[in-house]
Amino acid sequence: MFSAILIEKGHAGQTATVTNLDEAALPDGDVTIDVEYSTLNYKDGLAITAKSPVVRKFPMVPGIDLAGVVTDSTHADWKKGDLVVLNGWGVGETHWGGLSQRARLNGDWLVPLPSVFTSRQAMAIGTAGYTASLCVDALLNHGVRPEQGEVLVTGATGGVGSVAVALLAKAGFKVAAATGKATEAEYLRRLGAATVIDRSELGSAGRPMQKERWAGVVDSVGSHTLANACAQTRYGGAVAACGLAQGMDFPASVAPFILRGVSLLGVDSVMAPAGPRLAAWDRLARDLGVQALDVIAEEIALADAIAAADRFLDGKVRGRIVVDVNR
């Protein structure tokens, strides 16, 4: 038997409870894992609270991230005792996920736990940090360099934003962090932000072309914030877009793209192939100090994750929530 959060749907609607399950209930897969830590992400919050139809199949164990130890494998790449990490691949939506003491998965979805991180530290990074690393790689691969000017990170106190600030600062950039939480300015400076701006500067409708400010942008917010970020990006700069915290809409003009040569780089972390995943985790292992993880992460027990989902969606969480599934 093992404990997990189980989402079920009945006549009265959707419910989420911590439940004891038999291993025979696990879905098909060629790798079985004893999960050590998971996380709580925005998508997990939506799944647990039923505020968005994230779950596509019932019953479902949520949790788009996990880190743990392989206990059984018929996959060629993995053997008993291997330390592994999972991010995305529809886990927690169509396949049972990481908010559980045990998981059975497709071995193609796994990456090795970098030796510099513990399972807990890997989950302090989680999908949010891995996505941030994909965004930084996208900007650098496009040719954005520190000498070209300041870079902007929106949603900076969130999981993606927090790690993006730290990684960009490590890469030598002067980072401007946009947040609606003025009390978190010191937190952002500890991560490496040079300046902190109020998100209200970006959150409302703005002109199609604005004063050039940013050599590059990491945006996890979308909507007017993304549109204004593009309108303020310097000639030849790039914007890496990976989220929709403000909204899925993009009320923008083509002007920055055709008059300033700005590039909008879409970043998907869920179905990213192995090459970019491994490169992103390599960057995290090389450039993200464990001291930053101590600043970013808050730890809770599995039993606390359901209540924490509402707090997460209400914007009352800073950085990352790590879930110890074994307490």
| 93 DSSP 8-state letter | T
Structure tokens at 62: 């949520």
Classified as helix, coil or strand, 164 is helix
Question: Helix 305-313 vs helix 42-49: angle between axes, to the nearest 10 degrees?
Answer: 110
d(CA 272, CA 70): 22
Whether the Cβ atoms of residue 148 and residue 234 lie closer than 8 Å to each other: yes
The model carries a pTM of: 0.92
Q: In the structure, how many helices (H) and strands (E) does the chain have?
A: 9, 15
Run of H or E including 308: helix 305-313
- Domain annotation for the chain: domains and CATH numbers: 2-113+292-324 (3.90.180.10), 127-266 (3.40.50.720)
Pairing of strands 31-40, 102-105: antiparallel
Supply the pLDDT for residue 311.
Answer: 87
What's the chain's Rg over C-alpha atoms? Answer: 20
Supply the pLDDT for residue 63.
Answer: 97
Supply the pLDDT for residue 162.
Answer: 93
224 phi, psi to nearest 5 deg = -60, -35
| Average pLDDT of adjacent 10-residue blocks, the chain of 327 residues | 96 92 96 97 92 93 98 98 97 97 98 96 95 98 98 95 96 97 93 97 97 98 98 98 95 98 97 96 93 86 94 82 95
- Range 197-201, long-range pairs (CB < 8 A, 24+ positions): 199/154, 199/155, 199/225, 201/228
Whether the Cβ atoms of residue 219 and residue 226 lie closer than 8 Å to each other: yes
Supply the pLDDT for residue 293.
Answer: 85
Supply the pLDDT for residue 296.
Answer: 82
Supply the pLDDT for residue 48.
Answer: 95
